[in-house]
Amino acid sequence: MLTGKHILLIISGGIAAYKSLDLIRRLKERGAGVRCVLTAGGAQFVTPLSVAALSEDAVFQDLFSLKDESEMGHIRLSREADLLVVAPASADLMAKMAAGLADDLASTIMLATDKPVLIAPAMNTKMWEHPATQRNMRTLQDDGVTAIGPGQGDLACGEVGAGRMSEPLQIVAAIESILIGQVTAAPLQGRRAIVTSGPTYEAIDPVRFLANRSSGKQGHAIAAALARLGADVVLVAGPNNQPSPPGVAVRDIESAVQMLAACEAALPADIVVCAAAVADWRVAGEAEQKMKKDGSGQPPALALVENPDILATLSQLNGGRPSLVVGFAAETEKVVDHGQGKRRRKGCDWIVANDVGPGTGVMGGDENTVHLITSQGVEDWPTMSKDAVADALARRIADHFAVG
């Protein structure tokens, strides 16, 4: 699959560097040429000898090495590859890339390259979740860098959470979709999509809010799937713990009103998918100070006002309506009937209806059983992972534009 493709693999510091040795092997098996750069941190975890033996090439380590520069200058190193892959991408190297620093060979190559870049972040959960890393991630994505992972799970440091480097075969798949997808697999190239995801938080006072249990898994997976098919995706997301999907511009919001404003700011778009679980109501007159018990034993009365309906608003835009608007209907009974009613009421084109009744495990779970309701009828899809539902929906959207 990758015969004739040249990959420059940058291995930065992190325990996940051991997986990069397997990544080299997998890429070589598929016919790719792999040349490696090992940072000083990376060399603490894997040896240059292992990397050289597996890649069957010299390993480059030093910006100021006369030998390396005479054999292959860093500019050539950055330009001769078809794709630059940073795996593992440490928090430190990501920060350097986001800031445009160039104080070692790896960061200098990243600044000098004109080739696509894929990063596979790997670090401790707290480091990944730190606002600085998340900010750097957004900057890198805005700069056109594609990211894969990190995944969730047990980390080498003993903690559990987001931060595990994606598995070598997942990274290979991402590499194939970038290198081969450049030619073939981007049916949504040139299409703009807006996806809403996650819950909304509606403030009661500065410390309390109304919310719901949405995890954001399905919406984030849809944004990632549309981006994999080449769409230019803006993901408007309420508070969630999902990793930022690769190649997607994320707009973080809290309330329904902010979600609508962010969607409107992201227009024009060809495709809208409203997967967020938007709170139907917000508190009228949010308190400016924390509400205190007054000693009377009487709870305060909370007056609620209805939130704007983002799906209905975008479906009913006069002028500039996206040509395909897709909503979700999470129902506990009469799933298809309620879904059809919702499609008519809100004025959207398709509804993805799913059963969230007790015992289905859908809220926060990894699987989903959905029915796609269109003007043509109802398709019953088998139970699939949320990722597979996202892929199927993205392909269905691509087919719609191919035919339309």
Write out the binding residues for ligand CTP, residues 196-255 only, by CB under 6 A.
Answer: 196
User: How many residues appear in the chain?
Assistant: 404
Which residues make beta-bridge pairs with 122?
none
Q: Does 311 bind ligand CTP (CB under 6 A)?
A: yes
Q: Using CB under 6 A, which of the segments 107-115, 147-155, 170-178, 309-317 binds ligand CTP?
A: 309-317
* Shortest distance (Å) from residue 307 CB to ligand CTP: 5
Q: Is the peptide bond before 239 cis (omega within 30 degrees of 0)?
A: no
Catalytic residue check, 157: yes
Instruction: Rule CB under 6 A: say whether 324 interacts with ligand CTP.
Output: no
Among 329, 353, 389, 394, binds ligand CTP (CB under 6 A): 329
Residue 12 tokens read as 């930065």
Specify the 3-state DSSP secondary structure of 27: helix
Q: Which stretch binds ligand CTP (CB under 6 A): 31-39, 51-59, 111-119, 325-333?
A: 325-333
Q: Could you say which residues in the range 246-305 bind ligand CTP, by CB under 6 A?
A: 256, 274, 276, 278, 280
Q: Is 255 helix (H, G, I), strand (E, B) or coil?
A: coil
- Span near ligand CTP by CB under 6 A; candidates 78-86, 95-103, 308-316, 371-379: 308-316
Q: Quote the crossing angle between the two packed helices 131-142 and 91-99, to the nearest 10°.
A: 50
**Only segment of 1-9, 231-239, 328-336, 376-384 that touches ligand CTP (CB under 6 A):** 328-336
DSSP labels, 299-367: PPPPPEEEPP-HHHHHHT-SSS--SEEEEEEEESSSHHHHHHHHHHHHT-SEEEEEE--TTS--TTSSE
Nearer of residues 98 and 279 to ligand CTP, judged by Cβ: 279
**CA-closest candidate to residue 243, choices 365, 157, 117, 128:** 128
Following CA atoms 125, 129, 132, 134 in sequence, which dihedral angle do they give, to the nearest 10 degrees? 120
**What single-letter amino acid sits at 142?**
D
Binding mask 128-167 vs ligand CTP (x if CB under 6 A, - otherwise)?
----------------------------------------
178 sits in which H/E element: helix 168-179
Cβ neighbours of residue 75 under 8 Å, at least 6 residues apart? 112
Q: How many helices (H) and strands (E) does the chain have?
A: 14, 22
**Does the footprint of ligand CTP cover residue 327 (CB under 6 A)?**
yes
Shortest Cβ 219–ligand CTP spacing (Å): 8
Chain positions 6 to 25 lying near ligand CTP, rule: CB under 6 A, are none
Sites for ligand CTP among residues 162-191 (CB under 6 A): none
Tell me: does residue 322 bind ligand CTP (CB under 6 A). Answer: no
Site map 336..355 versus ligand CTP, x via CB under 6 A = ------x-------------
Q: Does 315 bind ligand CTP (CB under 6 A)?
A: no
The residues binding ligand CTP (CB under 6 A) are 196, 256, 274, 276, 278, 280, 307, 309-311, 327-330, 342
- Active site residues per annotation: 157
